[in-house]
Each structure stands twice: as C-alpha cells, then as structure tokens.
C-alpha cells in the first residue's frame, strides 16, 4: 500500500472514530418532586434538560419524569441513590428525617438570602460541604433554583403579641414548625390540596406556603387577609441530585455541560420566580385591596430567634458534621451580611 493511501485510510479512520464518538447519546432519567404544572419549580428541571441537550448537540438526553409519573415525590433521593433514576430535582430539606445533615442546604430560619447563599455555595465552601454530606448517599448534589425570601404566611387574625401565638393552629412544616411549636403554636401538617379548605373552615388559623408567585393559585388571600413577611425560609434552594456512578461515567465535556446547565437553570428559576412574585402581587393587591402586609413584632422575632438557637444547639450537640455545615453558614453570614446591609439594604432603604 502506498504511503498516500495509508495516510488517507488513517485520516478517515480518525474521522470515522470521532464521528462515532460524537454521535453516542447518553440518556439519563430524572425524577422530580413536582407535578407537571408546578411553576417555577418544574420549569427549572425542564430548562436544565433542554439546555444540556442543546449545549451537547443532542448527546446528553435527559428525560424528566414528574411526580405524576413515578408517584413518589418524596422518594426522589432513594430512587437516585438506588439507581432507578440517574437524577432528581427536589429540595434537600425533604431528607431531614433520613439524614438531618441535609437540612441546611435548602434554607435556614434567619439565615442567608439568595445572593448570599449562592455566594456561600459557589465561593464560600458550601458546595464542597454539600458533597461531603451527600457522599454517604452515593449522589452528588447541586443547587437547583431559589424561591428567594418566602413569605411568613397568611393569618386570619392579626398577630400582635406572643400570647396571640399560643394555641394558634398553623400549618408550617419542617424546622420552622419546630420553632413555632416552642412558642406555643399548634403546628399541623396538611396536604397541599386540603389547605384552602382547612383555612376556610377554621380547621387552621394560619398557614405558610411560598410567596405571591405560588400562593396566588391557592387563593389564601381571599380568606386570610394578614400576609406576614418572611423569616423562616429566606432563600429556599431546590436541589439537583445525580447518582455518582451515572455522573462519573459521563465524558468530561458532558459533565461540564451538565454542571453549567444546572447552575444556569437554578439562577434562571430564581429570577423567574422573582418576576412571578412581582406580577402575582400586583394582581392580588388589585383584586383584594384589603390584604395587609405585616411584620411580626420584635418580641416575637426575638423569641423565635432564641428558640432557633436552642434547637440548633440541640441538633448539633453530638453531630460534628452538621455543626461544621451550620458553623460555615453562620461565619459566612457574619461576613456577607455586613456587605448586604451597606449595599442592597441601604440602597433600598434610601430609594423607596
Ligand atoms: Ca414554605
């Protein structure tokens, strides 16, 4: 065989091989905690999958299954861990019953705001701590979109003193519910579909959900006019989960495309929800001008902060890893909050 022919064959071999490699499609399945219409949460999952597909020229094909399909909204971590699904879109604090150390990666009462928390995740060591906590579950975990500050909830009556909280029946799940319980609130957990009815029939006196963007469809503003400002979920961050084996066997470029798509989809959910909140609030206010936006009084806030501190001390007493995560957040908050106050806070205060 002549040298020329050998060279041609060699080049065409390289070309064919690279062509084949380029065409290999990696198919992943992702389970979400959300139903198909739960905007903006489900949008973050769908946007991520669409971005990863477009950026990879179709080589990364992620099928998104909503909770209506897999029927296990709170089984997402187990399904990704067990390999039934490669990925999940959910929220870290849903796993606090299985592993309390997962709690701080969503939002902590009186904790970081969304920009502060993203700064902690990506520049303050938060992302590394999240992998440390999730290593024993054989998954990687990434931020999956922030709701920003959640509202404190809808109350039928105004809350003026600590006494007004005693015996108050309120739906407020998770860690915030434990704080409220310490203040004498009768905390209940009711399925989302029954919330409106429970409030309307006085089975509960108050409830918290998210913020205008998602509250408006629930209709709480029609029956409980006191809308309290937030303290308990200042930056609830959704979560992308990936089975470690599934991620590790992806080619390096697809791993990077996946990381970038998750990061961008998360940020996009934050600003989408910001826009939805602004729009929904204008609609609510127009339809029901008697909604009163209120802030809990300083004695109530102080009592809640004290209860929060006591609960954190109890939780971390024999748990060095949880202490490490919460100490990291706390130290970061101390540093970043000073900047937030002299920048955004003073700007907003002086430019009403
Ligand atoms: Ca909430």
Cα(233) to centroid of ligand 1, in Å?
A: 7
Q: Smallest Cα–Cα separation from 224: which of 190, 201, 241, 245?
A: 201
Tokens of 5: 């022919």
pLDDT digits (tens, 9 = 90+) for 10-29: 555 555 555 555 579 999 99
The CATH number given to whatever domain includes residue 87 is 3.40.190.170
Question: Would 36 be classed as within a structural domain?
Answer: yes
Q: How far apart are CA 178 and CA 249, in angstroms?
A: 41
Mean pLDDT estimate for the chain: 94
Cα(40) to centroid of ligand 1, in Å?
A: 14
Instruction: Provide the sign of the torsion angle of the four alpha carbons 34, 39, 45, 50, taken in this order.
Output: positive
Question: Would 134 be classed as within a structural domain?
Answer: yes
Indicate the number of domains in the chain. Answer: 1
Average pLDDT over residues 318-327: 98
Residue located via tokens 């434990």: 178
pLDDT at 23 (0 to 100): 76
Question: Would 120 be classed as within a structural domain?
Answer: yes
164 burial (CB, 10 Å; 0-12 / 13-18 / 19+) is middle
Cα(349) to centroid of ligand 1, in Å?
A: 26
Q: Smallest Cα–Cα separation from 180: which of 303, 309, 94?
A: 303
Q: How confident is the model at residue 192 (pLDDT cuts 50, 70, 90)?
A: confident
pLDDT digits (tens, 9 = 90+) for 92-141: 999 999 999 999 999 999 999 999 999 999 999 999 999 999 999 999 99
Question: Would 16 be classed as within a structural domain?
Answer: yes
Domain that holds residue 70: 3-146+234-276
pLDDT digits (tens, 9 = 90+) for 281-303: 999 999 999 999 999 999 999 99
Cα(190) to centroid of ligand 1, in Å?
A: 13
Question: Would 344 be classed as within a structural domain?
Answer: no
DSSP notation for 174-206: HHHHHHHHHTT-EEE---GGGHHHHHHTTS-SE
pLDDT digits (tens, 9 = 90+) for 21-59: 557 999 999 999 999 999 999 999 999 999 999 999 999
Cα(11) to centroid of ligand 1, in Å?
A: 59
Q: Max CA-CA distance within the chain?
A: 96
Cα(295) to centroid of ligand 1, in Å?
A: 17
Question: Would 167 be classed as within a structural domain?
Answer: no
Question: Would 202 be classed as within a structural domain?
Answer: no
pLDDT over 60 at 2, yes or no: no
Q: What is the pTM of this model?
A: 0.91
Cα(17) to centroid of ligand 1, in Å?
A: 51
CB neighbours of residue 281 within 10 Å? 20
Q: How confident is the model at residue 257 (pLDDT cuts 50, 70, 90)?
A: very high
Question: Would 293 be classed as within a structural domain?
Answer: no
């Amino acid at each position: 065989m002549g040298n020329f022919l050998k060279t041609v064959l060699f080049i065409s071999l390289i070309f064919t091989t690279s062509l084949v490699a380029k065409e290999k499609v990696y198919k992943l399945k992702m389970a979400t905690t959300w139903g198909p219409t739960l905007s903006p949460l489900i949008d973050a999952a769908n946007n991520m999958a669409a971005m990863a597909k477009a950026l990879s020229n179709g080589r990364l094909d992620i099928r998104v299954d909503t909770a209506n399909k897999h029927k296990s909204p709170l089984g997402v971590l187990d399904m990704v861990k067990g390999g039934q699904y490669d990925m999940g879109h959910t929220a870290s604090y849903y796993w606090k019953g299985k592993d309390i150390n997962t709690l701080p990666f969503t939002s902590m009462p009186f904790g970081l705001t969304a920009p502060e928390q993203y700064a902690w995740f990506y520049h303050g060591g938060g992302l590394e701590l999240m992998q440390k906590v999730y290593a024993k579950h054989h998954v990687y975990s990434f931020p999956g979109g922030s709701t920003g500050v959640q509202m404190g909830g809808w109350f039928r009556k105004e809350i003026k003193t600590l006494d007004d909280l005693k015996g108050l029946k309120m739906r407020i799940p998770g860690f915030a519910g434990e704080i409220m319980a310490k203040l004498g609130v009768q905390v209940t957990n009711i399925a989302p579909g029954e919330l409106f009815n429970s409030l309307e029939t006085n089975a509960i006196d108050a409830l918290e959900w998210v913020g205008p963007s998602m509250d408006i469809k629930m209709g709480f503003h029609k029956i409980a006019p006191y809308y309290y400002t937030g303290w308990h979920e200042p930056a609830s961050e959704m979560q992308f989960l990936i089975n470690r084996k599934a991620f590790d066997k992806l080619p390096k470029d697809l791993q990077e495309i996946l990381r970038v798509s998750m990061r961008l989809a998360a940020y996009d959910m934050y600003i989408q929800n910001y826009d939805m909140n602004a729009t929904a609030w204008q609609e609510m206010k127009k339809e029901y001008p008697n909604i009163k936006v209120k802030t809990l009084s300083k004695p109530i806030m102080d009592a809640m902060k004290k209860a929060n501190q006591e609960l954190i001390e109890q939780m971390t007493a024999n748990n060095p890893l949880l202490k490490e995560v919460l100490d990291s957040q706390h130290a970061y908050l101390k540093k970043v909050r000073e900047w937030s106050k002299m920048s955004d806070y003073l700007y907003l205060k002086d430019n009403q």
